[in-house]
Structure 1
């Protein structure tokens, strides 16, 4: 059995690490929400209350106690984004648009849990909670403001869960996170020019915690917390000439609180609801300084965010058609942390609506499969890099409209390593 646990943990880490640094942001800011194929099918409604099964651990570690025995899950999401930027007057450079700056991406995640006895569980969650890939043409109207952006991460979160009694569980655990950024722009306002490149990386630690409550049969409430993580990035700045200067900067990635509710009714139906808050207002201005002297470089090397908090509201419905087949759907509305005043060519993020469908198939007591699909309807937005705005580079007035949508396909596999009939049964 211990060999099985090692195999499950290794597979959880390996699958996530293999692709975990290839991801495109499809949640507010540059966060990644696509951590569960089962949750995807309901627009992640109720995930903090366990609606996504084992993968609910990403949002609320206390849901680990809802899965008896020895289990692993592997999920992969394929992300197909479309995001265009169309310059308009009074832009001072030729009105050459960026076209579709969205890049196709694959996002995996992995989960393993092990029930020690009737009260205690341990587990591991791996994946990429943050990511962003955008790419514009080498020559376009806004090239001085940005040509390409890449944010990659990999996170491993160990969990210890305690079933206090038959209606309340708690859990917590540390997270180790790798984070890397590469931002590229042009030293020329228009036409061929040298590259401005800022890049850096760091590994840091954080934590997760959560609680689940079952006040009565058929009702589950969960509250999960993922802490902020501060990264002291070290890397290089290439300022339009073939010289790389050693630099460092600090960025604090936001904490997230997720509330979920799941309610069974009419025998085969379950209603799920969720609210998620992300403290993106933590991101203000990140100075980029010379690694040796500590002297800051001026904007645009300096990174200006000044975002507001992000919110995500979701509702979903699930129908257990038979012991083998379950169908689900959901809707969500997301308030982006990026406003008209702070929107940039690197991340033309806007408010959005999610519409999702999915199903699960239980092949046996040990093996099951999940499929989820979401279409995201992005709200049209504006970019206003004009005198007085935080991103303005004198004298390059740049004004544009943005539009976007996303298709996401997710598949997941769940496997139970132990014999279900020998699972530990809680007794109180």
Structure 2
């Protein structure tokens, strides 16, 4: 394959992720964790310490130094959520007569791609593309919670050029620049008064988009043969949304600061065929608060909807997993994760009725050749603990109507990836050139 065609193919993989990215939130709040088929097979255990191969650069750019030559990966995840909201008490009572939400979850596809190039035995460069945030919920148009949610969507794209440097045999560092696009739609019913229970109430809402810049940092430690420890940091990204309050046609502005996160991973080779992995991840969702919405013409708070009522807590994710190489062609893996959601009964709304949940995952890799391999993974997520909605005075979403409901939710995620090494695996990367003057 010519160099031109090779570069064209790599660009096409990255572009495909950018133009197709969309998704349903599966990483607490409206974050998307589905960035790697390989890591998903172990519920993302050890993602920051290299268990996701080239795709681990999403969590920790320093993990590129574990990869050799010129490699590219394309991943795609099908997210199949199910979430139904059943009103148990409303005030005015006429709201409950409008019925339940139906299934508010919308199936989604989340693609991502990665390219890593080893320049020499110390220096790597790469590119990651994907969608770090996504949300799409759409209840019945007429239902008991229509004053609090009709259509909600969050759409994102991100490209991250990355560099990594191997300091010595036990330490590597990495960094990346994140160029991120965000679009938000936020609609609900309105009426003659904030609690009017009419099935004919029209919809009104906010729509806006923005570009923002962030960065990522990471380091890996290999204190002993078969042991790797990784820590990755993804910065906050400020998004200055501009758009329109669509019911009145008023231009709006709102500043949203998306959260930073820290991922810590550890991987241990137990035998030649078996390895164990673990992950701890923290996401600073509490920095979102309730972003204010301003009239784009006057600069004053928008009277109709002055804030985006979020008030999330911080999120945590823990997982453990294992990987077993059956033979040179096949590797299997499994993992379990527990996610502490930033959303609970104090801030849960019908837009995103998230809660704590358990991840159960299986995955496999088939090596077609030394250069080409395929991965598949499946995860089932089920909620645990209190999943109720209880909107009353004091709740950040309260708009004059009391709304209490039960939530029944689960998620299935099926993903696949293709990986290819473009150079010759048998040809060693040359050492850095040393000149004497």
Query: TM-score, with normalisation over the residues of structure 1?
Result: 0.96
**Gapped regions of structure 1 (runs ≥ 5):** none
Q: 1:299 to 1:244 in 2, by over 3 A?
A: closer
Indicate which of 348, 354, 363 corresponds to 1:358: 363
In 1, the alpha carbon distance for the partners of 2:360 and 2:199 equals 41
Partner of 1:15: 16
Is the Cα contact below 8 Å between 1:24 and 1:105 reproduced in 2? yes
Alpha-carbon distance, 1:339 to partner: 1.6
3-state SS of 2:246 partner: strand
Cα distance in 2 for residues equivalent to 1:426 and 1:90: 70
Alpha-carbon shift at residue 297 of structure 1 (Å): 1.7
Q: How does 1:180-199 map to 2 (within 5 A)?
A: 180-188=183-191, 189-199=197-207
Unaligned runs of 5+ in 2: 192-196
Work out the CA distance in 2 between the residues paired with 1:406 and 1:154.
Answer: 22
Among 318, 325, 331, the residue aligned to 1:320: 325
Deviations 1:226-255 (A, max 9, x none): 11000000000024xxx3100100000000
How far apart, in 1, do the equivalents of 2:38 and 2:4 lie? 28
Moved over 4 A (4+): 425-428
Q: 1:210 aligns with which of 218, 235, 240?
A: 218
Is 1:44–2:49 an aligned residue pair?
A: no
TM-score normalised to structure 2 length:
0.94
Q: Secondary structure at the match of 1:420?
A: coil
1:120 paired to 2:123: yes
> Partner of 2:292 in structure 1?
287
Figure out how many residues of one structure are paired with residues of the other and give that number: 423
The equivalences for 1:205-244 within 5 A come to: 205-239=213-247, 243-244=248-249
Classify the secondary structure of the residue corresponding to 2:25. Answer: coil
Q: Which residue of 1 aligns with 2:24?
A: 24
- Residues 13-41 of structure 1: CA deviation (Å, up to 9, x unaligned): 22202311x21111101000001111110
Separation (CA, whole Å) in 2 of partners of 1:279 and 1:68: 34
Residue matched to 1:148 = 151
- The counterpart of 1:101, out of the listed 100, 104, 115, is 104
Inter-partner Cα distance in structure 1 for 2:363 and 2:320: 14
**Structure 1 CA distance, aligned partners of 2:288 and 2:162?**
28
Distance 1:71 1:98 in 2: 45
Partner of 2:390: 384
Q: Which residue of 1 aligns with 2:194?
A: none
Structure 1 residues 148-189: Cα deviation after superposition (integer angstroms, max 9, x where no partner): 101000000000110111111101011100000011111133
Give 3-state SS (helix, strand or coil) of 1:353's partner: strand
State how far apart, in whole Å, the 2-side matches of 1:147 and 1:196 are: 9
Please name the residue that 1:371 is paired with.
376
